[in-house]
Chain A
Amino acid sequence: MAHIVTSVLENRPVAQDYYELRMAWPSWAPAPQPGQFLTLRTVDGPVPLLRRPFAFSGFDRADSAASIIYQRRGHATTLMTAKRPFDPFDILAPLGNGFPDPKSGRRPILIAGGIGMGPMLFLAERLAQTPYPGILIIGARSAQYLPRVVLSRSVQTILCTDDGSAGRKGTAVDIAREEIRQEGCAPELYLCGPHGMLAAGHALAEELDAPSWVAMEQTMGCAVGACMGCVVRVHGGEEYARVCMEGPVFDSRTIIWT
């Protein structure tokens, strides 16, 4: 974890309301892993006040660059769309724990919904360079929300939409279930997306008796473990776990989904 004041390299739309922001990555800074995140200041002033968390969507040491994908939703993210190359970029990173490697013999199935695409693209790219590449399944409401320009040729990718306007019709979890059945593989699930999708992914993992990893979201204060704000309910001794420290990646069996 470090406080890094770097520069924006590029900030471009990649789908309707979705943007990819690339930033310079100083050589001294620790390398971000898939699943890890940063927090950034959108402005110096008091509105918006808090740093905003975003998962890394890519990192390339050779290019000295890291990236995030964000969705324009409110005041802070609208301000982010105005960032230009060489604008200063104040971040805390890398934060939290990344996704673990798949267990031996398991086929990684990466399931992304909406804004959850960022960390899944990063993980898919990473796994593509290993002997255990995964299948990346990206679900969106409809065609215009699919980030076609950032997809990698080296990753086996399946696109799907809720309304069938592009790719296969159905939810990413449903498509994952079909793919796993068709391949007859022993899967290991990796998920990032809306809470309902993560819960459905966990149910699928239970059904298949497969390991599964979810990247959780929660409103954050400090993002370094101090404020106890960003908790989720978990099984076990402690009632809550901090998304910023114990997460954001959790074994889906540790989460209380109700």
Chain B
Amino acid sequence: MDLSVRIGSGTLPNPVGVASGTFGYGSEYEKLIDLSIIGALYTKAVTPEPRPGNATPRIIETAAGMLNSIGLANNGLAGFKTAKIPYLRTLPCPAVVNVAGSKGDDYAKVIEELAGEDCIWGWEVNLSCPNVKTGGLALGTDPTEVEQLTSRLRKLSSKPLIIKLTPNVTDITAIARAAESGGADAVSCINTLVGMVIDTKALRPVLPGKTGGLSGPAILPVGLAAVYRVARAVTIPVVGLGGITEADHAIQYLLAGAHAIQIGTANFIDPTVHQKVLDGIQAFAVLHNLQSIPDFHQFIE
């Protein structure tokens, strides 16, 4: 059985990654988790300039989910280079740098400046953060903009280029096709869903920015349907995420057409989730005599 995943010019050792924003840069979890079994570590978003992030509270729990409004808090490109790159060089698993910004130049700047770093396996382009005022989500909802930006970023690096899609659009497949046309090696979906909670005692939204991004088990069926549709609209690999907390959920994504998956919110809850999901995928492959990841795609039309 071969569980490796080929994306563009690169290969991931296994399909189970950890989602951007839920795993820091890896060092935060090294005391709790064997990082060498992680298929891909998608870093906290990197923007050209440091961002302090949004006002508090930044997190509120919802029914089987959580709403966050972190606001891409990060140390910026210079901080990333001095404080995080040396650590990523020691990481025993592939590091995918999540790139964010508020305009095309921001994304290009991050990739351009980091392109020569051997410790970076590839890029995940965050065109879909719901928690920043400009860019992000706005950039990621227009197919023409997505195609143009993907094509621009494609020229800057030969490393695998993954475009992260938002579910907050009418037709996610149109955005996925635009990314493919622009030269993306894969798409990952879904980012968080825009959500809101109102405090009826205080008579105001709980999050200072009013809305946030919904993640966790509540969004599993949404992510699954998105991956199912996107996998049938493009020929490049699809990385599925949204609501995975156990092996069965990850297997559902693979059956729906994903080549790899990411665990997000569940990292906060169960430090052993990654191992359990990987073990479960392996057991499922043995049970059904599947030799490789594409074999998972044969069951569902």
Contacts and interface: CB of A to CB of B under 8 A. Distances in A.
Contact of A46 (B22, B44, B57, B216): B216
A220 interface: yes
B22 A219 contact: no
Interface string A152-188: 0000000000000000000000000000000000000
B245 A46 contact: yes
A47 B218 CA distance: 10
A95 B168 CA distance: 36
Contact of A2 (B32, B58, B66): B32
Interface string A89-115: 000100000000000000000000000
Given A46-B64, A50-B268, A227-B70, A219 B32 contact: no
A224 B29 contact: yes
Interface residues of A, number: 30
Interface in B60-75: 60-61, 63-66, 68, 70, 73
A91 to B, nearest CB: 11
Interface of B is mostly: loop
Given A46-B216, A51-B268, A225 B68 contact: no
Contacts of B56: 218-219, 231-233
A222 interface: yes
Given A92-B271, A231-B58, A225 B32 contact: no
Contacts of B245: 46
A239 interface: yes
B217 interface: yes
B265 A49 contact: yes
Nearest to B220: A46
A41 interface: yes
Interface string B15-40: 00000011110001101100000000
Contacts of B265: 49
Please report whether the interface of chain A is mostly helix, strand, loop or mixed according to DSSP. loop
A6 B60 CA distance: 28
Contacts of B64: 46-47, 49
A226 B22 contact: yes
A219 B269 contact: no
Contacts, number: 96
A220 B216 CA distance: 15
A50 B23 contact: no
Interface string B256-275: 00000000010111111000
Contacts of B29: 224, 226
A220 B59 contact: yes
A228 interface: yes
B73 A228 contact: yes
Interface string A15-54: 0000000000000000000000000010000111111000
B53 A240 contact: yes
Q: Which of B31, B59, B63, B245 has the most CB of A within 10 A?
A: B59
Given A3-B271, A238-B52, 12 more contacts: A1-B32, A2-B31, A46-B216, A46-B218, A47-B64, A49-B61, A219-B59, A222-B267, A224-B28, A225-B28, A227-B70, A228-B73
15 contacts: A46-B216, A49-B65, A49-B217, A49-B269, A50-B61, A219-B57, A221-B68, A222-B22, A224-B28, A224-B32, A225-B24, A227-B24, A227-B68, A227-B268, A229-B70
